[in-house]
A and B are shown apart, each in its own frame.
Chain A
Amino acid sequence: QKEVEQNSGPLSVPEGAIASLNCTYSDRVSQSFFWYRQYSGKSPELIMSIYSNGDKEDGRFTAQLNKASQYVSLLIRDSQPSDSATYLCAVNRFGNEKLTFGTGTRLTIIP
């Protein structure tokens, strides 16, 4: 079992709809969770971080964390063509500065 798993996609969502990206992790002592956006040919850009159970909202983005189910998700409301990118989930283990990345989900917003 991979440490961090994501559906590789591609995930196609109509413009204006909600895009839902999912990530599961295997290590129960994981404490910090991050979503990065990576445009083709560019480096990853941190868009959301979440540390406790529940929802965290930032503009059109909402991160959801459920530690009991070892599940973290990212919702993108009112999806725009500029949201088309690969979204990487990253997890940090308690007491360790290293991040473990999932394989990423390629999202395409259809105008």
Chain B
Amino acid sequence: SAVISQKPSRDICQRGTSLTIQCQVDSQVTMMFWYRQQPGQSLTLIATANQGSEATYESGFVIDKFPISRPNLTFSTLTVSNMSPEDSSIYLCSVNPSGSVNEQFFGPGTRLTVL
């Protein structure tokens, strides 16, 4: 597995502002994943972040709304831009540390509330 940390753990933001969430891993990983979990719902993949290339976004998610950075093999950020109350959710990063099997391990999450 891997030790994954996220910052901030929670935040309350005003409509129209942006929040950048950080994800740090204790080992180098090729792929990092960003998910959203809306209240009472399951996990929805936002995008896959590879180091050295642009993130790959899932249907319904766009780079302008959720820009992602991946400057090295242990770190990534997800920005939630121009927030609305509908963006209130838990945002989770995950990693696949082994590379050979597709087990993913999750960070503790960032609980975002947009007023």
Task: Tell me if A97 and B42 are in contact (CB < 8 A).
Answer: no
A interface majority secondary structure:
strand
Residues of A contacting B31 in the complex (Cβ-Cβ under 8 angstroms): 97
Give the size of the chain B interface in residues (CB under 8 angstroms).
21
Give per-residue flags for B96-115: 1 if the beta carbon is below 8 A from chain A beta carbons, else 0: 10000111111111000000
| Residue in A closest to B108 when the chains form the complex, CB atoms | A43
Task: Tell me if B43 and A44 are in contact (CB < 8 A).
Answer: yes
Residues of B contacting A103 in the complex (Cβ-Cβ under 8 angstroms): 41-42
- Within the complex, what minimum Cβ distance (angstroms) separates B33 from chain A? 7
Given contacts A43-B92, A43-B108, A97-B48, contact A34 B43 (CB under 8 A): no
| Residue in B closest to A98 when the chains form the complex, CB atoms | B45
Given contacts A43-B92, A88-B43, A103-B42, contact A98 B48 (CB under 8 A): yes
A92's partner among B44, B90, B102, B105 (CB-CB below 8 A) is B102
Task: Tell me if B103 and A46 are in contact (CB < 8 A).
Answer: yes
Residues of A contacting B44 in the complex (Cβ-Cβ under 8 angstroms): 101
Give residues of chain B (22-70) contacting chain A, Cβ–Cβ below 8 Å.
Answer: 31, 33, 41-45, 48
Which of B's residues lie within 8 Å of A, judged by CB? Answer: 1, 31, 33, 41-45, 48, 90, 92, 96, 101-109
